[in-house]
Chain A
């Protein structure tokens, strides 16, 4: 799963720690999501989307679906 979390966070001028604080998770979690090491659960993905006032599809995208669409 791809995401634009780093871009959205940068737009707000937030650090990973500040975003983590707002989501109630650790900074390591935010880093793991941003680097694609970890895909968040649906509740956390929705919380992230809500925080940035975006839809979940704006923040996260399915790599498999994207590659199938490209073919």
Chain B
């Protein structure tokens, strides 16, 4: 067994987390501000900013999976359980909202918020499952 496996994994995850969240905040705040400052918003610029906002979030999920692989077995178990609960909640919401739309109960729903709901459900589940052991 490699020494300091858990510590190395945690350090790598924190580093990736900091960089990706910084890019996300800059992209969403800077992009919104810049687009509002323009009289006409070019489509190519809107697409670019949208990808700049989404990319760090997708890469954050990838870095989470890498952390799950690299961390110790107990933390892996806690995180994967929480991830599964988050996924169950989010996919259930997709079906519920989708069915409500299908039967014209609601008109539109910003799908971006489902991603936010996933992270929220994952975080809460992790806290509930792990209790004081959350790391």
What is the interface of chain A, defined by CB distance below 8 A to chain B? Answer: 20-26, 28-29, 31-33, 37-38, 40-41, 43-44, 47
Contacts and interface: CB of A to CB of B under 8 A. Distances in A.
Interface residues of B, number: 19
B43 interface: no
Nearest to A33: B74
Given A32-B133, A43-B1, A47-B1, A24 B72 contact: yes
Given A20-B6, A24-B6, A29 B1 contact: no
Contact of A32 (B2, B5, B74): B74
> Looking at chain B's contact residues, is the secondary structure mostly helix, strand, loop, or mixed?
helix
A24 B75 contact: no
Instruction: Report, nearest first, the 8 A-B pairs whose CB atoms are least far apart.
Output: A25-B72, A29-B74, A28-B133, A24-B5, A26-B6, A24-B3, A28-B135, A29-B72
B4 A44 contact: no
A23 B1 contact: yes
Given A28-B135, A32-B133, A40 B73 contact: yes
Interface string B22-33: 000000000000
A40 B41 CA distance: 56
Contact of B74 (A22, A24, A38, A43): A38
B58 interface: no
Nearest to A43: B1
Interface of B: 1-7, 10, 71-75, 77, 130, 132-135
Contacts of B75: 26, 28-29
Which of B6, B10, B132 has its CB near the most chain A CB atoms (within 10 A)? B6
A38 B6 CA distance: 17
B27 to A, nearest CB: 33
Nearest to B74: A29
Contacts of B134: 28
A3 to B, nearest CB: 14
A33 B133 CA distance: 12
